[in-house]
Amino acid sequence: MSANQPRTDGRKRILRKATELFAQGGYEGTSLSQIAEAAGMKKPSLLYHFDSKESLRQEVLSVFFAHWRSLLPSVLAQTRSGEDRFAVLMDACFQFLTEDPNRARLFIRETMDNPKDFCTEMTEQLTPWLTLVSQAIEEGQRSGVVRQDVHAESFVLHMVRLAMTHFAMTGVTGAFMPTTKNCGARSLQELLRIGQTALFAPQQERPDHG
């Protein structure tokens, strides 16, 4: 183990617990002392990594946004067809949120508690990402693979809403699907099917059909 490993582990632990507590209690309702205690350290140790609660919040959001900024170019480079791109992109999204559903809860919390500033941050951080998605959808429309009546930005908005809500509700999914085995996985499959059906034209309506 390198000399920097404990420091790196401590920073990751702080970020994970800050994500959880900010999601639960909001930014104003969460103190640095609470985060430090949850991370298993004293407040001065936390301040070694982050000099204020605001700098910690910014880092939590930076990790969230950085994932999306780096994800899409990778997906576009790895895949060719629209269906493949959509499936890989959604799978990567699901994996990121499965690793820590509090990321989705924090997203929703920020939209409720701090909508104006959070909207500004999202616009600054995600505009290049949204532009690439919109261009990919419009390219699919020109080729006849994507439905002509799809509005790219609205489609992205609704898919983000559905994904965030799904993971924010992870703990109560079973209440809506009491007779379904592996209800979490089945719910994700249904979310993917909804997106695919809404986005892609049926095979028989595509120019190269037959």
pLDDT tops 80 at residue 65: yes
Report, as an integer, the average pLDDT of 60-69. Answer: 86
pTM recorded for the entire structure: 0.84
Report, as an integer, the average pLDDT of 184-203. Answer: 94
- Residue 206: predicted pLDDT: 85
pLDDT digits (tens, 9 = 90+) for 12-42: 999 999 999 999 999 999 999 999 999 999 9
Q: Which residue has the tokens 């104006």?
A: 116
Residue 199 or 125, more confident: 199
- Residue 50: predicted pLDDT: 96
Q: Model confidence at 4, in pLDDT bands (50, 70, 90)? A: low
Mean of the per-residue pLDDT values of the chain: 89
Q: Model confidence at 148, in pLDDT bands (50, 70, 90)? A: very high
pLDDT digits (tens, 9 = 90+) for 161-171: 999 999 999 88
pLDDT digits (tens, 9 = 90+) for 81-120: 778 888 888 888 899 899 999 999 999 999 999 999 999 9
Determine the topology of domain 59-202 in CATH: Tetracycline Repressor; domain 2 (1.10.357)
Distance CA 201, CA 18 (A): 42
pLDDT digits (tens, 9 = 90+) for 88-97: 888 888 998 9
The answer to whether 57 and 74 have CB atoms below 8 angstroms apart is no
Sign of CA dihedral 171, 17, 112, 156: negative
The answer to whether 19 and 106 have CB atoms below 8 angstroms apart is yes
- The pair of three-digit structure tokens given for residue 182, joined into one six-digit string: 């592996």
Residue 73 or 173, more confident: 173
Q: Model confidence at 129, in pLDDT bands (50, 70, 90)? A: confident
- The pair of three-digit structure tokens given for residue 24, joined into one six-digit string: 């639960």
Q: Would you kindly state where each structural domain of the chain is located, as residue ranges?
A: 59-202
Helices (H), the chain: 5-25, 32-38, 43-49, 53-78, 82-99, 102-113, 115-143, 152-168, 173-176, 183-199
